[in-house]
Each structure stands twice: as structure tokens, then as C-alpha cells.
């Protein structure tokens, strides 16, 4: 078992005719993921990597029965792509695009109210169920099948974590990045509740970073609603306060979203926090044996 | 990007928010004309992107031209809160009866804009939130409908705003929301909004921070972008650079990975010299620019370390191509590249003959090696 994606997930790939789109859709196909349609406006009728291309998401879904959209669309057009997917009623949308304006995302979140579409991203590295489904930037080298769920706010740390676990013999059930932007689709809480319901996920590794309140909210959810054990790592322990470290997610301001506040919240929820990322396997072993 | 007070006020004025009469001064030659244009009693305000300018001595009153000249000589080119004062704003001095705080900000948790209103104008908002939480009204805004009059009124009544101020306050806060939406702001703030003895409401200060990701919609802000190391690095395909004071030059892809590398360095007893997220630029030769930047800063070792979903074989090619072109490269370069196509990347690195290149297979080995080099324990 797994969450959100598996071997039966059927993907429509938006932006498949671009350079990155061609490369990453081929990576998915090589892995065995079912990429059943592509979309690029004005390129209907073309075939890319053996996949038929359509003008609109609706046409593609109708022809291919896709239930997951992967978006490789430049930031200025991402809001439009989201709207198109929500309108087509696609159950799952993955978006890798970095640099989507915050106010665009506010409008998208408003549009999502009452809809069944689950949005992962923007600025998500993708989602992997090892041996069944790969997407986004996820390098297949990092993943083996197993019983640990990984959810991360940072892209690169998603696969770094999977690799550290793999070196210690731990495989993953599903591994996903929710994206590091200030406003995103699904957050930690939604993903944790899916892992909680998945009988094959024995433990969840949560990778957070400084800034925002997502980790604190996750900690209180874990405390109140989860039986599945969770261990965590929070990036930015050594970051000086008041400086923006890269993307907007990692801003600390006014004493909120600091490393200390996140560490405290997790500790109080019974979630061990790794001081350095390479300590994770030890924490997992301890937790599983306790 | 953050706009200076005088730039924010130009936009306020265009949107119908009253601002004091003002003139920007960037050199001593401009003082006399600006002083007479603004007329009479003025305040001179140092234009730096930092709060608490008044307390730091960046805001001064002048009654005569001689005063104004003296103040300009001491302020222009000086450092205020660590920032160089490149320009001053001459403004008419207002007789203050009372002050408000007004702002529209991004509310991450609720995924919507948030209006904030307080009668404690002139104080730092963090302080108001801490000391007088019941005197700070917050109104989440539905981005589809915008900010409604009644919402502002309800909050104003709750705070006890005098009736005479009610309508002008509603009008100004709604216009501030227009500024926020129309310019893709992350934050816009009037602190204080001054009510003069003559019962006029005027923006005493102005902050406007624009969402960098939305600049494609606002070419008018291009002229406001200032040059600097961080900006230059961005222009050369890097993602983000923050100068720190250690001696291990850090270069990574992804903000989370870069912070993790800094955390690991600190845990191993080393000191990171920077935060450098090269991002996708790593596939286009931005590493070369990044190394030059680190060398100019002066570091004992450079650590290039990532686990990437981008093609690490191409990253290795670009790095190895770029290194020999850097003539002043005189420190060891520790490289760890894991992720997509890592086997090929590691092959390329192991074939490399450059004497200063050290390779490591994993995150912890790479960091341990860089820390040892920085302490002179190994070469």
C-alpha cells in the first residue's frame, strides 16, 4: 500500500513538449509509471515519448482516463494551469514550478474550497511510491520499497532523506515533498492523516524547515490524532535570525517559526527531532524498537 | 524586493492615499532647492530599509536651511543600522494629534490577505502585538471579494476609533489594500498614519515589499532594483546568496539542503561562510560564478554538496569545466554530488586531475572533510 499514487495511477503531463517536460516524462515512463497523455496548447496530435498530446486538460482526460496531472509549467502560467486542472476535476495535481506569485496561490486556494482535487505544490519535488510510481525531480537512485513514509517541505532534502534511510536499510512506502512556498496545496497535516490510514506505513519521517507554522501545526495534529510513530528533522538550526535563507518558506520573523519553537512543539508531541539529518536512522531504530 | 519609503509613497499617492509634501535629496547640491520646495519646517528622513530609524538618529527636524545642510552632511553616506544612507527624504513637518497603524500582509496560515489596524501608531508592530494584543485588530480578507467597508468599521468600533476618523480611515485602508493587490505586495504598511491637529489623515511613513516572484507583472519596479553581491549572483543564474562570517564556503542546490549543510557544518565544529543556493543554475555554469564570489569573500575551503533531482552528471561536467578557468583558485574544493545519474557524476569526478579537488561520497563525509580542512587538520 501507499498514499496518493501507485502502479494504477494514470498521468496527464502538462508541458510535455518542453525540454524539461520531455526529459522528466521519459524518466517516469522508464520507471514504469503510466504516463497516458500530454498537454501543450496548440500541439494536439503530436506524439512525445510515445504519448499522445492534446490541447486541453479536459480533452486529455476524456481520451485517456487520467487521474493525476503533473505540471511542468512556467511560474507566470501556473495559476491558469491549476484552474484548468481543478475545472477538469482531476483528483491529484502535482506541481514542480518554483516562483509562483503568492497572490496567485491565494486565488487558487480559494478556488479549491469544496473541490475534491488534491494539490501537491507548487515547488514540490514530486512524489514516489518505490517500484510503482515516480514523478517530478525524484531521482530513482534514492528509493527502495519499504515501510517508512517521508513527507518534506524541502525538495532536495526529500531525496537526501530517502537516501540516508536507504543506506541504513530502510525503504519507503511513499515519499513526497509538499513544497517550500508560503502558500501551498496540501500541507503536513493532510499528508500525515493519509499516512495514518495507510496500513503499510509503520513510521513517518517529517522533514521541516524554519519559517512558517506548518511544523507546529503538524506537531499538534500528531499529538492528538496519530498512532503511527513520527520522527523529524528541521533544517535551519544554525541559521541566523532575521535573514532570509533562500525561498520564502525559510523566513523567521518576530520569534515565530524559529527552530526552537518547532523543536519544542515536536518534543512535546513525542516526536524526536534529529540534531543533524544523518541521525535519522538512529532515531527510527529507537522508535521502532520502543 | 523592498521599496524605500519615498518610493512607497509615490505609489500611495497614485492610489489616493494622502502623503506629506516631500522631496528626495541625494547630494548636498540639492539641499537648498528641496528645502525651499517643501517649505518652512521640515523633517529629514534617512532612506534605509530598516525599522526604528528615529531611535537610531535617522530622522531629524530642521527649521533653517543651515540646519538642513548640517544634517545632510552628517547623514548622507553615513551608516544607519548597518546600511549606507544613499538618499534622504525632506518632508513637511506635521502637527500630530494622534496616530494609527495600518497594514495589509500575507497570512500564510489562512492563505489569504490580512488587514491590520491599531490605534497604537508609531510603535513597532511586533511590540504592539506583544504588549497590547487586544489593541491590534486583524481582519482576514477573502481575495475574491476584497476588503469591505463594514469589516473595517466593525474593527474600528471594537478598538474605539473616534467617529470623526472612521470614514477617512475606511477609505485609506481600502486604498492600502488596492496598493497590496495592484502591486503584488507581500506587505504594505503605514506606520504611523498621522491625524494632524487640523484633522487631516496623512501617511507619515510607508513600507511596501513586493513579491519577487510577481515582478514579471511589474516591469515598472525594474529601475528600483539595486546592484549588490546578492543581486549580481541572482542575475548570473544563482538562486540566493546570504553572506555569513565563517570560513567554509558553502554551495548547494535547494534552500533546505543548503541550511542542512550549514547545520551539519556547525554540528561538526565548523563555521559556514555563506548560504548559497545555486538552484538550477548548477546545470548552467553558475557554480563558476559562485566559486568566484566565495574566493572574493575569502574562505579556507569550498564545499559543493548536494543531493539533486537535476542531472548531477551535467553538474559535474559544468563544475569541472569551470574550475580551471578560475585563475585565483587557491583553496581545496570538496565536491559531493548525489542524486540523478550519480554514478556517471562520480565517474567524472574520480577521473578529475585537478590538484585542489577532493571528492566525498556522502553528505557527512563531505562536511567532515571540509571542516577538517578549515581547521588545518588535513590539506
pLDDT digits (tens, 9 = 90+) for A22-36: 999 999 999 999 999
B351 and B291 within one domain = yes
Secondary structure string (H, E, C) spanning B261-312: HHHHHHHCCCCECEEEECHHHHHCCHHHHHHHHHHHHCCCEEEEEEEECCCH
| Min distance B319 CA to chain A CA atoms (Å) | 19
CATH number at residue B85: 3.30.1490.20
Kindly state whether residues B145 and B176 are assigned to the same domain. yes
Domain final residue pick, B155, B190, B222 = B222
Question: In Å, how far are A284, B274, B282, B348 from B330, measured between CA atoms?
Answer: 42, 18, 21, 22
Give me the phi and psi of B23, to 5 degrees please.
Answer: -145, 140
pLDDT at B246: 94
Of residues A241 and B260, more confidence is placed in: B260
Instruction: Judge contact between B24 and B87, C-beta under 8 A.
Output: yes
* Residue B236 shares a structural domain with residue B369: yes
A70-106 confidence digits (pLDDT tens)? 998 999 999 999 999 999 999 999 999 989 999 999 9
Catalytic residue among A166, A247, A262, A272: A247
A 65-94: CB under 8 A from B? 75-76
Q: What is the mean pLDDT of each run of 10 residues along chain B (379 residues)?
A: 94 98 96 93 92 88 95 93 91 96 92 95 83 92 98 97 96 98 96 96 95 93 74 67 91 92 96 91 86 92 93 93 92 95 94 93 96 93
The secondary structure of residue B237, as a DSSP letter, is: T
A247 is catalytic: yes
Counts of helices then strands in chain B (DSSP H, E) = 12, 19
Domain span at B334 = 229-374
Check if the beta carbon of residue B339 is closer than 8 Å to that of residue A141: yes
Residue B189 a catalytic site member: yes
| Three-class DSSP category at A142 | helix
**Interface with A, mutate which of B256, B257, B258 (most A CBs under 10 A):** B256
State chain A's mean pLDDT as an integer.
Answer: 93
pLDDT for A255? 56
Q: Is the peptide bond before B192 cis (omega within 30 degrees of 0)?
A: yes
Backbone torsions φ then ψ of A146, nearest 5 degrees: -175, -155
Considering the domain architecture, whether residues B203 and B324 belong to the same structural domain is answered as no
Q: Is residue B197 located within the same domain as residue B215?
A: yes
Interface with B, mutate which of A153, A188, A206, A246 (most B CBs under 10 A): A246
- The pLDDT tens digits for A136-151 are 889 999 999 999 999 9
Same domain, B195 and B272: no
Is B6 contained in some domain?
no
User: Which of B46, B66, B92 lies at the terminal end of a domain, its last residue?
Assistant: B92
Domain assignment present for B4:
no
A240-254: burial string, b at 16+ Cβ within 10 Å, e else: eeeebbbbbbbbbee
> CA B340 → CA A24, B310, B316, distances in Å?
11, 6, 12
SS3 readout for B355-369: CCEEECCCHHHHHHH
| CATH number reported for the structural domain that contains residue B209 in this entry | 3.30.470.20
CATH number of the domain enclosing B358: 3.40.50.261
Pair B190, B57 in one domain: no
Shared-domain flag, residues B286 and B343:
yes
In chain A, the domains with their CATH numbers are 10-120 (3.40.50.720), 127-289 (3.40.50.261)
One domain, residues B120 and B246: no
Residue given cell 514516489 in the structure block: A128
Identify the pLDDT of residue A25. Answer: 94
Q: Please report the pLDDT score of residue B286 as a whole number.
A: 85
Nearest chain A alpha carbon to B216: A76
Closest residue, chain B, to A250 (C-alpha): B255
Q: Are residues B367 and B287 in the same domain?
A: yes
For chain B, how big is the Rg over CA atoms in Å? 26
DSSP-assigned beta bridge partners for residue B100 = B193
Residues B148, B267: one domain?
A: no
**pLDDT score recorded for residue B225:** 76
SS3 A265: helix
**CB of A157 within 8 A of CB of B257?**
yes
Give yes or no for a contact between B268 and B246, defined as CB atoms under 8 angstroms apart.
no
Predicted local confidence at residue A224, as pLDDT: 97
Same domain, B135 and B181: yes
Distances (CA, A) of B292 to B73, B302, B319: 37, 11, 12
Q: Which residues in chain A have their CB less than 8 angstroms from residue B256's CB? A: 152-157, 180, 207, 209, 235, 250
Q: Does residue A287 surpass a pLDDT of 90? A: yes
Of the candidates B197, B222, B247, which is a domain's last residue?
B222
* Domain total in chain B: 3
Residue B228, pLDDT score: 64
Residues A50-61: pLDDT tens digits?
999 999 999 999
The answer, for A100 touching chain B at a CB cutoff of 8 Å, is: yes
Confidence of residue A248 (pLDDT cuts 50, 70, 90): very low
Look at residue B3 and tell me if it is in a domain. Answer: no
Amino acid at each position: 500500500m501507499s498514499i496518493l499514487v501507485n502502479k494504477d495511477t494514470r498521468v496527464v503531463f502538462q508541458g510535455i513538449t518542453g525540454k524539461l517536460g520531455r526529459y522528466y516524462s521519459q524518466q517516469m515512463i522508464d520507471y514504469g509509471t503510466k504516463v497516458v497523455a500530454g498537454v501543450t496548447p496548440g500541439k494536439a496530435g503530436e506524439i512525445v515519448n510515445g504519448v499522445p498530446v492534446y490541447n486541453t486538460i479536459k480533452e486529455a482526460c476524456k481520451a485517456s482516463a487520467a487521474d493525476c496531472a503533473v505540471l511542468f509549467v512556467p511560474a507566470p502560467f501556473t495559476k491558469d494551469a491549476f484552474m484548468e486542472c481543478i475545472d477538469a476535476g482531476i483528483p491529484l495535481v502535482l506541481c514542480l514550478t518554483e516562483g509562483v506569485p503568492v497572490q496567485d496561490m491565494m486565488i487558487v486556494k480559494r478556488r479549491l474550497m469544496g473541490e475534491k482535487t488534491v494539490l501537491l505544490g507548487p515547488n514540490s519535488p514530486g512524489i514516489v511510491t518505490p517500484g510503482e510510481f515516480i514523478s517530478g525531480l525524484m531521482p530513482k537512485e534514492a528509493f527502495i520499497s519499504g515501510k517508512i513514509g517521508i513527507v518534506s517541505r524541502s525538495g532536495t532534502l526529500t531525496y537526501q532523506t530517502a537516501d540516508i534511510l536507504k543506506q541504513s536499510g530502510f525503504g519507503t512506502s511513499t515519499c513526497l515533498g509538499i513544497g517550500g512556498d508560503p502558500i501551498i496545496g496540501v500541507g503536513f497535516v493532510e499528508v500525515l492523516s493519509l499516512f495514518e490510514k495507510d496500513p503499510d506505513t509503520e513510521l513517518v519521517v517529517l522533514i521541516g524547515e524554519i519559517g512558517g507554522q506548518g511544523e507546529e501545526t503538524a506537531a499538534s495534529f500528531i499529538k492528538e490524532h496519530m498512532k503511527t510513530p513520527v520522527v523529524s528533522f528541521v533544517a535551519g538550526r544554525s541559521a541566523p535570525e532575521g535573514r532570509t535563507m533562500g525561498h520564502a518558506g525559510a523566513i523567521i520573523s518576530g520569534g515565530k517559526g524559529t527552530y526552537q519553537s518547532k523543536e519544542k512543539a515536536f518534543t512535546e508531541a513525542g516526536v524526536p527531532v534529529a540534531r543533524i539529518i544523518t541521525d535519522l536512522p538512529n532515531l527510527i531504530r529507537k522508535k521502532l524498537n520502543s | 524586493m523592498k521599496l524605500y519609503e519615498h518610493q512607497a509613497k509615490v505609489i500611495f499617492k497614485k492610489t489616493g492615499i494622502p502623503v506629506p509634501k516631500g522631496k528626495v535629496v541625494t547630494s548636498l547640491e540639492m539641499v537648498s532647492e528641496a528645502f525651499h520646495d517643501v517649505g518652512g519646517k521640515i523633517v529629514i528622513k534617512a532612506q534605509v530599509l530598516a525599522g526604528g530609524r528615529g531611535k537610531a538618529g535617522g530622522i531629524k527636524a530642521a527649521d533653517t536651511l543651515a540646519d538642513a545642510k548640517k544634517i545632510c552632511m552628517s547623514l548622507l553616506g553615513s551608516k544607519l543600522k548597518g546600511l549606507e544612507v544613499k538618499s534622504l527624504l525632506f518632508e513637511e513637518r506635521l502637527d500630530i494629534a494622534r496616530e494609527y497603524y495600518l497594514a495589509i500582509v500575507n497570512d500564510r496560515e489562512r492563505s489569504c490577505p490580512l488587514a491590520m489596524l491599531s490605534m497604537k501608531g508609531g510603535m513597532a508592530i511586533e511590540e504592539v502585538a506583544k504588549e497590547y494584543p487586544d489593541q491590534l485588530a486583524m481582519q482576514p480578507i477573502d481575495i475574491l471579494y476584497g476588503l469591505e467597508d463594514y469589516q473595517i468599521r466593525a474593527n474600528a468600533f471594537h478598538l474605539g476609533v473616534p467617529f470623526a476618523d472612521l470614514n477617512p480611515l475606511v477609505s485609506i485602508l481600502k486604498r492600502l489594500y488596492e496598493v497590496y493587490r495592484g502591486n503584488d505586495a507581500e506587505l504594505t504598511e503605514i506606520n504611523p498614519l498621522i491625524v494632524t491637529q487640523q484633522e487631516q489623515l496623512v501617511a507619515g511613513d510607508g513600507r511596501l515589499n513586493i513579491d519577487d516572484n510577481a515582478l514579471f507583472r511589474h516591469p515598472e519596479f525594474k529601475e528600483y532594483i539595486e546592484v549588490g553581491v546578492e543581486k549580481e549572483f541572482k542575475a548570473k543564474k544563482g538562486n540566493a546568496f546570504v553572506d555569513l562570517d565563517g570560513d567554509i564556503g558553502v554551495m548547494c542546490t535547494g534552500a533546505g539542503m543548503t541550511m542542512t549543510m550549514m547545520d551539519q557544518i556547525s554540528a561538526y565544529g565548523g563555521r559556514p561562510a555563506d548560504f548559497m543556493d545555486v538552484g538550477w543554475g548548477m546545470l548552467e555554469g553558475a557554480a563558476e560564478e559562485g566559486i568566484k564570489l566565495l574566493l572574493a569573500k575569502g574562505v579556507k575551503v569550498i564545499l559543493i554538496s548536494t543531493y539533486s533531482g537535476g542531472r548531477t552528471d551535467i553538474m559535474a561536467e559544468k563544475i569541472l569545466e569551470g574550475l580551471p578557468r578560475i585563475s585565483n583558485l587557491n583553496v581545496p574544493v570538496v565536491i559531493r554530488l548525489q542524486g540523478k545519474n550519480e554514478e556517471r557524476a562520480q565517474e567524472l569526478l574520480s577521473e578529475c586531475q585537478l590538484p585542489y579537488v577532493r571528492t566525498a561520497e556522502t553528505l557527512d563525509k563531505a562536511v567532515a572533510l571540509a571542516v577538517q580542512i578549515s581547521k588545518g587538520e588535513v590539506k
